[in-house]
Structure 1
Amino acid sequence: MTLTIREGGPDDAPLILGLLDGAVRWLVAEGRTGQWGTRAWSANPRAVAQVHRYATAGTPYIAESDGMPAATLTLTDAPGSYVEPAGEPERYIHLLAADPRFKGRGAGAALLAHAAEVTRRAGISLLRVDCYAGDDGKLVAYYERQGFVRTESFSQDGWPGQVLARRVR
């Protein structure tokens, strides 16, 4: 599989929502509803507004395989309101999601590597992300395999989260 990564923008919000919806369907099929529940992102006005906000304030990136969207993430200059800023310049990853048809094929890892390179080229050394830390911890372990280390844990309305950081030089 050959991946290309392109910079997106606010017009990509429907594509991002579609990838998030596909990820929810996959998680539900796997019995893993703790992360994002059972409702499609595109059916939740608050989630739709969040995607549009990040796609406008940040920079979405789309990994494509033969012109088909395989995965996405958005980089911003700060975390969401539920995480304290780092106290130094940073880039923050939001909304990493992959099309389940591309699961295990490296699209997410390629986007994370791209985000690290974009951060480094901007002269910023800190890249952070947060994720669901419940159930078996597989998502936290995934980020650790991508070079991130755990920093602080948090809980938002009973949802267990973990912030992870990666230094890029």
Structure 2
Amino acid sequence: MAERTEFRIRTATVADAQSIVDAFDSTLPYLASIGSEGQWGLVPFSERPGFLDDMAKSLEQARVWQETHEGDSNIIFAAEVVGPASTEATVPAGFAQIHEDKFSEYLYKQANIQAVDLTKLSNFVFLEVLLVHFGTGYHKGAGTALVQHVKRYGLEKGKDAVYVDCWSGNNRQLVGYYERQGFVTVEDFAFPRENKTPWIGTLLRMDLTKA
């Protein structure tokens, strides 16, 4: 039986910016291989103008918020595997970005999300990004470890729920993944893209009041 990978999860810093971009890039060949290239496209994130700089800025904003609670309630977690005992090297396995009591702006603009009024929701954690690093060999289980960490964070903060939205194309495979993690579908949505088919997604919720 294969040995179970143990992940250490910490708060990411600006020094992790390049590693996060590398992790984004590593997902694209995998997504294409399973027919899910519609989720994030085919252009490497490292080749998208300003993406690395934006990631570094987001990490710096996260640092400021954690120290002062001023600005956007932004936190990025890093899952890593500790290297051989003879070294102190660590291997990145995945990342998760969350916000407290705030959704991504594009969700507030979704007129077809009618099951709930997002503007009236409070006391929740929003999982904006969850990705694993396919290039390091330790991606399996990293997503689950990060979801569980976000859940524990929400419980420690006394939150009522964790929300996440995801791409719902390719037979809703990603939706099924989140449902297996304990999320329940709230509503499907779609938003138009210029000269492209609409990006279809699903908003999901994990109830923390019964955890």
Q: TM-score, normalised by structure 2?
A: 0.73
8 Å CA contact retained: 1:19, 1:71: yes
- Match of 2:78? 62
1:8 to 12, 17, 26: 12
Deviation readout 1:17-56 (Å, 9 max, x if unpaired): 1111101122123342111110111221364465445432
Local SS of the residue matching 2:37: coil
- Shift of the 48–131 alpha-carbon distance from structure 1 to 2, 3 Å rule, reads farther
- Percent sequence identity over aligned pairs: 28
Q: Secondary structure at the match of 2:159?
A: coil
In the alignment, is the contact (CA less than 8 A) between 2:35 and 2:170 conserved in 1? no
Residue of structure 1 in register with 2:36 after alignment:
32
Query: Aligned AA for 2:129?
Result: L
One-letter code aligned to 2:133: D
| 2:97 counterpart residue number | 74
Query: For 1:31 and 1:135, how far apart are their aligned partners in 2?
Result: 7
Provide closer, same or farther for how the CA distance between residues 16 and 138 of structure 1 changes in structure 2, counting only shifts above 3 A: same
Q: Which residue of 1 aligns with 2:68?
A: none
State the secondary structure of the residue aligned to 1:21.
helix
Quick check: 1:97 aligned with 2:131? Answer: yes
5+ residue gaps, structure 2, are 63-73, 83-89, 109-117, 193-197
Q: Assess, with a 3 A threshold, how the Cα gap between structure 1 residues 48 and 132 changes in structure 2: closer, same or farther.
A: farther
Provide the secondary structure at the position in 2 that maps to 1:36: coil
Q: In the alignment, what sits opposite 1:136? A: 171
For 1:60 and 1:4, the matched residues in 2 are separated by 14
Quote how far apart the aligned CAs of 1:65 are. Answer: 1.2
Does the 8 A contact of 1:54 with 1:76 survive in 2? no
8 A contact 1:54–1:74 mirrored in 2:
no
CA deviation after TM superposition for structure 1 residue 10, in Å:
3.5
1:43–1:160 distance in 2 versus 1, CA, 3 Å = same
- 2:204 maps to 164
- Name the TM-score, length of structure 1 as normaliser: 0.89
User: 2:147: which partner in 1?
Assistant: 112
Shift in CA distance, 152/31, structure 1 to aligned 2, threshold 3 Å: closer
Instruction: Work out the CA distance in 2 between the residues paired with 1:9 and 1:156.
Output: 32
Aligned length: 168
Say what the alpha-carbon RMSD is for the aligned residues: 1.9
User: In terms of mean alpha carbon deviation, does 27-36 or 69-78 score higher?
Assistant: 27-36
CA distance in 1 between counterparts of 2:203 and 2:50 reads 22
SS of the residue 1:102 aligns to: coil
Q: Which has the larger radius of gyration?
A: 2
